Amino acid sequence: MSGSGFTLDDIDRMSAECAVALRPEYEGVHATCRQTEDIPLPHSTGILLQARCRCACHNPIAQAMPSDD
């Protein structure tokens, strides 16, 4: 994805929906991401069954910042 500003490591930390939504023709797919929280493995400590999407749209700090609109 040259020119997108994202590295492969960034994309690896995103959900499939958010990674596909980086393409201009698939921007609407981004809204279908449901990986907004870490899901721990039951009866374990510190092991994740599924990690949350690390996309900036799910980042609470980015959401709390005022926009320039």
Model confidence over 14-33: pLDDT tens digits?
888 888 888 888 888 878 88
Tokens at 68, concatenated: 């320039």
The strand pairing partners of 40, in sequence order, are 48
Q: Based on the number of CB atoms within 10 Å of its own CB, is 29 exposed (0-12), middle (13-18) or buried (19 or more)? A: middle
User: What is the pLDDT confidence band of residue 4, given thresholds at 50, 70 and 90?
Assistant: low
User: Residue 42's pLDDT is what?
Assistant: 92
Are 18 and 32 in contact by the 8 Å Cβ rule? The answer is no
Query: How much is the pTM?
Result: 0.60
Tokens at 54, concatenated: 């690390």
CA dihedral angle for residue 10, residue 15, residue 17, residue 23, rounded to 10 degrees: 10
Of 30 and 46, more confident: 46
Of 10 and 45, more confident: 45
Answer yes or no: is pLDDT of 41 > 90: yes
